[in-house]
Chains A and B, each alone.
Chain A
Amino acid sequence: MVLNNIEKLLEKYENGETSLKEEQQLKNYFSQETVAPHLEIYKPMFAYFLVNQQEQFTKHVPLNTKKVFNYKWISVAAVAVLMLGIYLKSTINNDLGTIQDPELAFNEVSKSLEMISKTFNKGTSTLGYLEEYGKGASTLEYLNEIEKGTSIIFKKNQ
């Protein structure tokens, strides 16, 4: 009865139709001391499978965590530095305060405009020298006249 069953299973086995459970049954049967003589050839096959299930991988695998330097943090740092620079610069330059009272503001504005015009006038007063220069240059016109005269003379001589 058992043998009959095993034979059936073997046929199914060779067609690749056995389930894992049935294959386990076969393996169990063939790991016995005695099997039916005409099925003896199958014994080494199943024995081989069982032996091979026990082979183990013993080599050590070095699992070192390599630190990958993250370059994106450099850009983050750069942006932070840039923002800080802009912030500091803007606070230094623009922190002049505002005047709330319009009259006072007008006075301040006219005061500073006055200062501008004063210094501007100082600047233009030095430009007076330029007029003198112009005078000097105009006297040079006479030189041209002289040259004309001499050229006439020279022509006559020729």
Chain B
Amino acid sequence: MTQKEFLNIVMPFKDKVFRLAKRLLISTEEAEDATQEVLMKLWNNKEKIEDYKNVEAFSMTMTKNFCFDKLKSKQSQNLKIVHSNYEDNNTSLQKQVELNDSVHWVSRIIEELPEQQRMVIQLRDIEEYDLDEIANMLDMNNTAVRANLSRARKTIREKLTNTHSYGIK
């Protein structure tokens, strides 16, 4: 497999890998490193790529596992991931959005969610994957994905309502 063929396969979903990594690791730098690592692993195993039924789903699972490993090793080292980029670097885009501050709140609320819910929200509401695909990627069953999704959405809505009314009262 040549580099070009490989890139043709990988290009469509490399951003998704990056966004999932960022959702889990929070820091942009960490997520970039993780994405790079995942892509390098894919490249090194490029001979086997043709055997995989769904390279994209496989890569997402790989990303998930890689990020979990990373988080675990951080935890054992007693280090917190430093995310200096709390303000997303796409502020210019956010500025176009009417409720800039509230959007920022959403990102904070999602960061506080448990990892499973964060991943499900990321894969469903941002990447717009099928529920079955998500179940496949995360090694969960369909109902568990649905439950996590529902819980996450409700939490986001409740917390948003709280912050909203907090501003008023």
Contact flag A54-B93 (CB < 8 Å), given A16-B146, A20-B128, A44-B106: yes
Q: Per-residue CB proximity of B117-161 to A under 8 Å, as 1/0?
A: 000000011111010000000000000011101100110110011
* A52 engages B98 (CB within 8 Å): no
Q: Per-residue CB proximity of B1-45 to A under 8 Å, as 1/0?
A: 001001100000011011100100000000010011001100100
* A61 engages B99 (CB within 8 Å): no
* B154 engages A14 (CB within 8 Å): yes
B107 on the A face (CB < 8 A): yes
* B146 engages A55 (CB within 8 Å): no
Tell me which of A14, A56, A57, A61 contacts B150 (CB under 8 A). Answer: A14
B94 on the A face (CB < 8 A): yes
Give Cα distance in the complex from A42 to B160, angstroms.
Answer: 8
* A44 engages B18 (CB within 8 Å): no
A44 nearest in chain B by CB position: B102
Give Cα distance in the complex from A13 to B97, angstroms.
Answer: 22
Q: Per-residue CB proximity of A45-76 to B under 8 Å, as 1/0?
A: 10111011111110101110100000000000
The number of residues on chain B lying at the interface, defined by a beta carbon within 8 Å of a beta carbon of chain A, is 46
Give the distance to chain A from B75, nearest Cβ to Cβ, in Å: 25
B83 on the A face (CB < 8 A): no
Tell me which of A20, A45, A61 contacts B106 (CB under 8 A). Answer: A45
Tell me which of A23, A49, A63 contacts B43 (CB under 8 A). Answer: A63
Tell me which of B90, B105, B156 contacts A54 (CB under 8 A). Answer: B90
Give Cα distance in the complex from A59 to B40, angstroms.
Answer: 13
List CB contacts (< 8 Å) of B33-77 with chain A.
Answer: 35-36, 39-40, 43
Which residues on the B side are within 8 Å of A63 (C-beta)? 3, 6-7, 39-40, 43
Which residues on the A side are within 8 Å of B149 (C-beta)? 16
* A47 engages B97 (CB within 8 Å): yes
Which residues on the B side are within 8 Å of A33 (C-beta)? 98
Contact flag A51-B93 (CB < 8 Å), given A44-B102, A63-B43: yes
Question: What are 19 inter-chain pairs, A to B, with CB distance below 8 A?
Answer: A14-B153, A16-B145, A16-B149, A20-B128, A20-B130, A23-B124, A23-B125, A23-B128, A41-B157, A44-B160, A51-B90, A51-B103, A52-B19, A54-B90, A55-B18, A55-B88, A61-B39, A63-B6, A63-B43
Known: A14-B157, A24-B128. 10 other contacts (CB 8 A): A14-B150, A16-B145, A16-B149, A20-B128, A42-B160, A47-B97, A49-B125, A51-B88, A53-B127, A55-B90
